[in-house]
Structure 1
Amino acid sequence: MSSDSESENQLRRDRDLAELNEWFYTNENLPQEIDPLLLRRFYQCMYCHVEDTKKLIEVNYALRNKHPHLFIKRDPLDEDSRRTFEYADILPLPGLTPDKYKVSLYCFRDFEPSKMHHTEDTRAFFMVTDCRFVTVDDEAHKEQLSEGEVQIFDMKGTTMRHISRLTISTLRAYIKFLQLAFPVRLKAIHMVNCPTYLDRIVSVVKPFISDEVFKLIKFHTSSIDSLYAFVPRDMLPEEYGGSAGSLATLRAQTQQVLAEKRDYLMNPNHWVVEKPEKRNGKSWKLFN
């Protein structure tokens, strides 16, 4: 691409983002504030299409305000959050893949099913992602936004007792938000260390997942080595054959970010819609 074309594209992006920013701050059906980096993510997610970006933003905040116990009434340092982070890891991994995708890892640290509290755990998941969306994706290239999202779920230790502790209303809200309102494009979901009774687990959760999303799921049933074809080893924790540091180190980094962003996460100006209106959402171009 020529420098002239790059300059024209940058001017258009700046103009579009200025329009979106003004629209956001004058829209009484949205919160009072939005972080500039989060606004950029919405815009990029919609392939830089202004009107589609507006629709995605409205759906995002409508769903947040419909489920305040998951998205608004929260504290990353309270007892519920401490309990989640003691038994499970929710970790954005450093850097980006060669395709410029951001990778996150989810795994149990304690396999006792009674430690699982699905609604509180889901709230913690969204706090981690909300922090990530206002944090640069790659320290080496701070202006580079991820082009998509890759999720790794480690199923080691997962039993049917864990599945029995799922809260259906929370699962529905989680899946709906992921499919309709996430400010990034979901590219792949990798399930590693799958148990032999995987088909039973899938049969429980599949009714809540759209065919579009289910096609993105890859089950690694024999060895974690097959994951390396999709995620570079240097992005993975040492415990997964990578060189991105230990789980303990990545966990400490994530907890530090949560503590630093606590005021942001709990500030109603960023999340609460004072005059919510009913809206009919539909699936946007999140998966292309």
Structure 2
Amino acid sequence: MSAAGGVGTATVTATEATVSGNGKADQLGRDLQELLEWFQLNEKLPKDIEPLLLRRFYQCMYGDLEETRKLIEVNYALRNRHPHLFIQRDPLDDDSRRTFDYADILPLPGLTPDKCKVSLYCFRDFEASKMHHTEDTRAFFMVTDCRFVTPDDPANADVLSEGEVQIFDMKGTTMRHISRLTISTLRAYIKFLQLAFPVRLRAIHMVNCPTYLDRIVSVVKPFISDEVFKLIRFHTVSMDSLYEFVPRQMLPEEYGGGAGSLATLRAQTQKTLAEHRDYLMNPDHWVVEKTEKQNGRSWRFFK
């Protein structure tokens, strides 16, 4: 992978082409090179892509080149359809600071035994007036975009996660928070997660669920496909049920785990965002030129 904020390399490196099994490494290298060349010549895509992100797309589609191309085009089409969420952003601006002052959006270190990456989302401040749904969603995607160009296991950069596990801590969530949801933002967020995410969503765990959980679910369920809704598990009694799915040691200390404190994980995430600021704000990685001319073809899939 090129340095944070830099331009993706013109060829796929040996590191990016390493997998286990005889002959697989050569095939991976050829496929990624073919995808990179296709990407750079495709007028419906930005100018550049980080090699590690390209490999995630490829792995997400189980190495199927045609399906990988479709996923990539959908990803950038949606990004450019909603530039206020995916392109017009700065991890160090006032909007981002307000989000990170009241909420944590934290990729957790390591991988589960089945090679899934775990992320945690929780409130630090329960005051509903501090929630700004669109700005918070923009911050979420900045964190995930940084994660996708960062090795999942620093000890073995060649190992990629096989899926994504998300933990939402509902502690402090009230109907006042739900009333501050922006429907257009919620729709865009869920559509991107369902159609364009470059990793496979394996599970969503809702912990510390309130007694009025059914009212919250009734608001968001119409926007969620049945396939994704089946991935959601509601933990209504205690955290113990979560440990059956996510190793306790992977969780922050505040959740009974051994991954360090929330403050330490927060500082690491903020450091990563600052280091990748140029990358996140570089239009060469996100903006599709001449979008208006392609409008009839590009957006038809989503109507």
Instruction: Work out whether the TM-score is over 0.5.
Output: yes
CA distance in 2 between counterparts of 1:140 and 1:37 reads: 16
Partner of 2:280: 265
Partner of 1:92: 107
Partner of 1:239: 254
Of the candidates 168, 171, 179, which is equivalent to residue 156 of structure 1? Answer: 171
| Residues 29-73 of structure 1: per-residue CA shift (max 9 Å, x gap) | 100000000000000000000010000000000000000000000
Percent same amino acid at aligned positions?
Answer: 81
CA distance in 1 between counterparts of 2:53 and 2:111 reads: 18
Q: Aligned ranges for residues 1-288 of structure 1 at < 5 Å? A: 6-276=21-291, 277=294, 278-279=297-298, 280-281=300-301
Partner amino acid for 1:168?
Answer: I
Gaps of 5+ in 2: 1-19
More displaced stretch, 6-15 vs 147-156: 6-15
CA distance in 2 between counterparts of 1:267 and 1:23 reads: 21
**SS of the counterpart of 1:124?**
helix
Does the Cα contact within 8 Å between 1:180 and 1:281 map onto a contact in 2?
Answer: no
How many pairs does the alignment contain? 278
**SS of the counterpart of 1:28?**
coil
CA distance in 1 between counterparts of 2:67 and 2:301 reads: 12
CA distance in 1 between counterparts of 2:228 and 2:221 reads: 10
Does the Cα contact within 8 Å between 1:149 and 1:186 map onto a contact in 2?
Answer: yes
Gaps of 5+ in 1: 283-288
Partner amino acid for 2:67?
Answer: D
TM-score (norm 2): 0.91
CA distance in 1 between counterparts of 2:30 and 2:69 reads: 15
CA distance in 1 between counterparts of 2:301 and 2:31 reads: 23
Does the Cα contact within 8 Å between 1:152 and 1:192 map onto a contact in 2?
Answer: yes
Partner amino acid for 1:98?
Answer: P
Partner amino acid for 2:62?
Answer: Y
Q: Which runs of 4+ in 1 moved over 4 A?
A: none
Deviation at 1:234, TM superposition (A): 1.1
Partner amino acid for 1:159?
Answer: T
